[in-house]
Structure 1
Amino acid sequence: MEYQETRAKKLLFKGEKCTVRRGKVDKAKHKHKSKTKPNNQHRGDTNTGGDRDASDGWVPVMTSSDLDGPLAFFFRDELVYVLSLPPQEDTQAQAISEVGLMPPVFLILENTSLTEAEPSRIEQVFVGRKSIPATEPTDPEGRMHSFKSYTGTYLSADRHGNVECKAVAIGPLEMWTPVLLPERGDGAIALMTRSPGSSEDCFLSVETHKTTGRQLQVHAGASSIGFCQVFTAKCQAALRKKRIVSSSPRIDNDIYSPSANSTKSSKSHTETLLDRREKLKSDRYCK
């Protein structure tokens, strides 16, 4: 009996974890506990006002890197608006490819604040991307972005300031230079463009004095940044977290392998000393 109890135990080395096989009763208890485990463990208890996961939802852009990927642009006046193509139900008679022919507008968002505002439809999401790779850090063309809609067309502005979303390829009219304005709030941004042949920069603007129902018209004719040229850009929190993790310094084996180099150096130094002692014949153990 004592021998059977002894061989039931596994020999453990220092640092190993003890794994005990569960019987049927233990498995049943474990299964019962997993069922009663609350589903809001990571999101916080709604009854206690817990915060949700930091990787959920949309967050204000903080750096130019946040402008690569899905984006939503908001404007705050008396109410909150979101940049959007016309909803699909308003253009059911048209093909989806023709929706982009209609100009984008800022649509009103009901019962929300600028802090909590998020896109609720695919028409409200644009995908940002750097237009031209930068050859130098100070290269202004390296800061230009294009913004692609769900229809595959790009946000653009012509020389008359008309904002459209019908180009299927990126050209000079589809290039925007984002200007981050952290002093104006989280995610504050202005979108600057310059038409070919023009010597002046223009900024994307809303026309608050020309409201049409529940939307604001947009144009790109303002020559300076004012109230109507400042927007709040938001990106997906999960993608930002992924970028931060991927850009964080990693432990490289080559960086942390000085022991191999030092061992090699120490060995060569030892061999030199042994050769010298052998020549001097001061140590019989050298041979």
Structure 2
Amino acid sequence: MSTDKVRSTKLKFKGEKTKKKRTREDDDEGAGSSRRRRRENDEEASETWVLPESAVEIRGPTFMVHPSDPSPITITYDSTRGRIVVQSLDKDKSEDSEHPSLLERVPTEVSQVWVTTRVAGSPTINLRTGTGEGKFLSCDKHGLVSADREARGPQEEWTPVVFPDGMVAFQNVYEKYLSVDETAGGQLALRGDSEEVGFRERFWVKIQSKYKREAHEEEKKRTEGMVDASKIDETSANKIYQAWGAGRTVVSVDDKKELKKARKEGRLAEALLDRRSKLKSDRFC
């Protein structure tokens, strides 16, 4: 009897893939499609327009709506004429067409979007046009609002104030508020000289969800950093409370034992203060 292994009689052509390979490749292709769909969904969710819950969340692309009657209005920038335009959100819709609710409104034109940047170490923000050369929203001491400056200074700084109902007011450097005002010709325009916040000074503001998450992550890191900094470091604490001249630390063997015991008992800060008072008393006696 021949000892050769029995080979399959099924014909195979050069380059033909086995069934197992096809299955694995199909699985890989399916996994790739799933990852691609998941990535597309994440990107779509990141660009969803949401309401900020606090002032620090207002950043990135920003959409501002005022609940005027009969049609809500938004602040836009006409890059051709280089001026701010207060525009009705229903200007291109017929009376019979159905309008979305106020909080469902999203920008439909690039000119309706402003780019918010935050001033480092400050609660103030800058609002820059999303079209044209990027001009900053500013207000002078007379309350005249414009967007014709490429550089930012004190007049281009705004402090957002978020109210419990979610609406936002913008305060300028002169401690006056941005408002929608009706001019002599019946047209609407922006002013920056209101001393109190009323209906004309309140806006609905929308940002993209990824920037809201970014603000939360920054706040979380900042909070974690504060917690880490609050942990007691005996060496550092000794230098703070017991250093005399050029950072020289004075700790005897008995003091080390006492401080170690105090730390275990949770009264280290009290012990360090007592130690400092004692050293001062010994020094000036």
CA contact (8 A) 1:161 1:220 kept: yes
Match of 2:100 among 86, 102, 112: 112
2:56 aligns with: 65
* Higher helix proportion: 2
TM-score (norm 1): 0.56
Output one character per residue of 1:158-188: Cα deviation in whole Å (capped at 9) or x when no partner: 1221110011111121111211112xx23x1
2:46 is paired with a residue of what secondary structure? coil
- Give distance in 1, aligned partners of 2:30 and 2:197: 58
Q: Give the gaps of 5 or more residues in structure 1.
A: 5-20, 45-51, 92-98, 135-141, 196-200, 256-287
| 1:176 aligns to 2:158 (yes or no) | yes
1:112 is paired with a residue of what secondary structure? coil
2:192 is paired with a residue of what secondary structure? strand
Amino acid in the other structure paired with 2:127: F
1:144 aligns with: 124
| 1:23 aligns to 2:2 (yes or no) | no
1:152 is paired with a residue of what secondary structure? coil
- Give distance in 2, aligned partners of 1:83 and 1:75: 8
TM-score (norm 2): 0.57
- Give distance in 2, aligned partners of 1:33 and 1:130: 43
| 1:207 aligns to 2:195 (yes or no) | no
**CA deviation after TM superposition for structure 1 residue 216, in Å:** 2.9
1:75 aligns with: 66
**CA deviation after TM superposition for structure 1 residue 207, in Å:** 1.9
1:61 is paired with a residue of what secondary structure? coil
**CA deviation after TM superposition for structure 1 residue 194, in Å:** 3.5
Output one character per residue of 1:20-74: Cα deviation in whole Å (capped at 9) or x when no partner: x97145357658978999x988999xxxxxxx97534111111222123221111
- Give distance in 1, aligned partners of 2:21 and 2:66: 60
- Give distance in 1, aligned partners of 2:21 and 2:209: 43
- Give distance in 2, aligned partners of 1:203 and 1:251: 35
2:139 aligns with: 157
CA contact (8 A) 2:183 2:189 kept: no
| 1:236 aligns to 2:208 (yes or no) | yes
1:244 is paired with a residue of what secondary structure? helix
1:224 is paired with a residue of what secondary structure? coil
Equivalences for residues 1-287 of structure 1 within 5 A: 23-24=20-21, 26-27=23-24, 30=27, 54-78=45-69, 79-86=71-78, 91=80, 99-100=81-82, 102=83, 104-110=84-90, 111-131=99-119, 133-134=120-121, 142-150=122-130, 151-182=133-164, 185-186=165-166, 188-195=167-174, 201-208=175-182, 216-245=188-217, 247-248=219-220
1:241 is paired with a residue of what secondary structure? helix
- Give distance in 2, aligned partners of 1:175 and 1:41: 39
Q: How many correspondences in the alignment?
A: 196
- Give distance in 2, aligned partners of 1:205 and 1:211: 17
- Give distance in 1, aligned partners of 2:157 and 2:113: 17
2:57 is paired with a residue of what secondary structure? helix
Q: Give the gaps of 5 or more residues in structure 2.
A: 6-17, 91-98, 229-285
